[in-house]
Amino acid sequence: MSLEGFIEYKRREFCNDVRCPVQMELNKQKEKSEEYERIRQTCRTDCRYTTWQFHHWLMDKGYLILKTKASEGK
């Protein structure tokens, strides 16, 4: 869901921008291949970056985090 005048975060934009070594290896692999999935497991269980780093990267790049009113109180 895009709002007029805004762009959405693209998958792995942060990882590519900070040149995460795991992401750089993923970029060399065919998506969904056995090796790709093996490397990707690192992202799922042992990310090299913190949520603090990601959050501040988002702010530095001008991203906003939005929440719908309908999800309030959940």
**pLDDT tens digits along 26-63:** 999 999 999 999 999 999 999 999 999 999 999 999 99
40 in Cβ contact with 26 (< 8 Å): yes
pLDDT, position 41? 95
Q: Is 1 a domain residue?
A: no
What is the per-residue pLDDT across 1-26, written as a single tens digit (0 to 9) for each? 678 888 899 999 999 999 999 999 99
21 domain residue, yes or no: yes
Tally of domains in the chain: 1
Which whole-number Å values give the CA distances from 39 to 19, 31, 69, in the listed order?
15, 11, 37
Asked if residue 17 belongs to a domain, the reply is: yes
pLDDT at 65: 87
In a domain, 4, yes or no: no
| pLDDT at residue 54, as a whole number | 97
